[in-house]
Structure 1
Amino acid sequence: MNYEIFKSIHGLSHHSAVLDSIMVFITEYAIIAYALILLAVWLFGNTKGRKNVLYAGFTGIAALIVNYLITLVYFEPRPFVAHTVHTLIPHAADASFPSDHTTGALAISIAMLFRSKKLGWPLVIFGLLTGFSRIWVGHHYPVDVLGSLVVSIVIGFLLFRFSDILRPLVDLIVRIYEALINKVTGKPTDQNF
């Protein structure tokens, strides 16, 4: 069933150069887009926004560590290794489950959603689109993306629930950054975002 759904989604590729280009762009540059969004919130946001960026970053890292641990105990070959698949772009024949791209995108998105619905929902939608693009280009099965969603939700919830553990580090990093910026510019950094 996993492969059948994969074929249905990936089968949409190679029919529209425009859609293929969009999906390739998303699959290759989503993580860069997330980094730029977080950077913008960090640079132009307020203290709360900077803290949210750090929590989202820590959540993304934790989720990717969980992905790595999963690959140590369970290895799923990529669709183009196990089947005849004409990928839109090349990829290494490493573990397919879960999708690191999708996990990184969704973990950051879900962490942000717990703290800011206004920014979180668009990021979650973009994260789901990232996962869809990974199937479209032929790099992942639907279950790989579903596994990423589960990892992201669980890790996002746990880090939100136990954020008190990270709070001293997050507060310290933001306080040091804002003190440095205040010293350099002479202006307070707690802007509205």
Structure 2
Amino acid sequence: MDYHLFRLINDLSGHYRLLDMVMLWSSEYVTILLAFALFGFFIVGLKKRIYMKTALFTGAALIISMGIGYVIKGLFYRPRPFVEHDVNLLIIHNTASSFPSNHTLAAFAIGLGIFFFHKKVGSLLLLGAALIGLSRVYLGHHYPLDVFAGFSIALLVVFLLKKGMNKLEKGDRRHVAKRVS
């Protein structure tokens, strides 16, 4: 199933110049735009606390997610599609483990982290993250399962961080309420 879906997406590569350009651009630059969005939240956060909270939360989610991704890559080597198969490869890539997709993992960690605090901006960033994931398969660098794993790791980390943060905040409110009484 994974390889079949890979073929459906990657077989489009190299046949439609505009689509090729969009996918190349997405893979190379949308991740940078997401990083700039995170940086923007940090800068605005110097004046507005909620933006700093968003930036710090998202930064933590990004670091933890990437750490988990690197550990998994070190434990489980999965050859990239272009190593094992004849694929449409638009740009050269290293042959490091394909699983999970670091581009996708980082993009979704940022998109999901911001989404939990700012739905409109987060929704746009999540669309960008999805485009990055699709582009990684389109370019022949990852299988769909690699992309799904990147998304899943980011989702799990953001969910657990949010849950932990909510518990801490609830505990802080109780502690303040007891002091006031």
- TM-score tier (shorter): 0.7 to 0.9
Alignment pair present for 1:24 and 2:14: no
Name the residue aligned to 2:66. Answer: 64
Structure 1 counterpart of 2:102, which letter? D
- Secondary structure in 1 aligned to 2:103? helix
**1:39 matched residue in structure 2:** 39
What is the aligned-residue identity percentage? 37
Q: How far apart, CA to CA, are the structure 1 residues paired with 2:10 and 2:168? A: 40
The CA deviation string for residues 88-111 of structure 1, in whole angstroms up to 9 with x for no partner, is 111000010110000000011111
Following superposition, the deviation at residue 166 of structure 1 comes to 9.1
Letter in 1 for 2:114: M
Aligned with 1:73 (options 68, 72, 75): 75
SS at match of 1:119: helix
Residue 114 of structure 1 and its aligned partner are, at CA, apart by 1.5
CA distance in 2, matches of 1:29, 1:57: 19
Q: How much has 1:43 moved relative to structure 2?
A: 2.4
Is 1:4–2:11 an aligned residue pair?
A: no
**Where does structure 1 differ by over 3 angstroms across 4 or more consecutive aligned residues?**
164-167
Q: Residue 165 of structure 1: CA displacement?
A: 9.2
Q: How does 1:125-140 map to 2 (within 5 A)?
A: 125-140=127-142
Asked if 1:142 corresponds to 2:144, the answer is yes
Secondary structure at the counterpart of residue 115 of structure 1: coil
RMSD value, Cα? 1.7
Mapped to 2, the partners of 1:166 and 1:22 lie a distance apart of 42
- CA distance in structure 1 between the aligned counterparts of 2:124 and 2:66, rounded to whole angstroms: 21
Maintained 8 Å contact 2:31/2:129? no
Partner of 2:177: none
Q: What is the TM-score when the length of structure 1 is the normalising length?
A: 0.81
Normalized against structure 2, the TM-score is what?
A: 0.86
Q: Measured at CA, do residues 48 and 67 of structure 1 come closer, stay the same or move farther in structure 2, by a change above 3 Å?
A: same
> Which aligned pairs between 1:82-161 and structure 2 lie closer than 5 A?
82-161=84-163
- Displacement of 1:146: 0.8
Instruction: Report the Cα distance in structure 2 between the residues aligned to 1:84 and 1:66, rounded to whole angstroms.
Output: 30
Specify every segment of 5 or more residues in structure 1 that has no aligned partner in the other structure, as ranges. 168-193
Distance apart, 1:22 and its partner CA: 0.9
- Could you tell me whether the CA contact under 8 Å between 2:11 and 2:88 is conserved in 1? no
Distance 2:105 2:33 in 1: 15
Q: Tell me, what secondary structure is at the counterpart of 2:6?
A: helix
Deviation for aligned residue 1:44: 3.5
Deviation sequence 1:12-58 (CA, Å, 0-9, x none): 11111111011001101122111211222332452211220121111
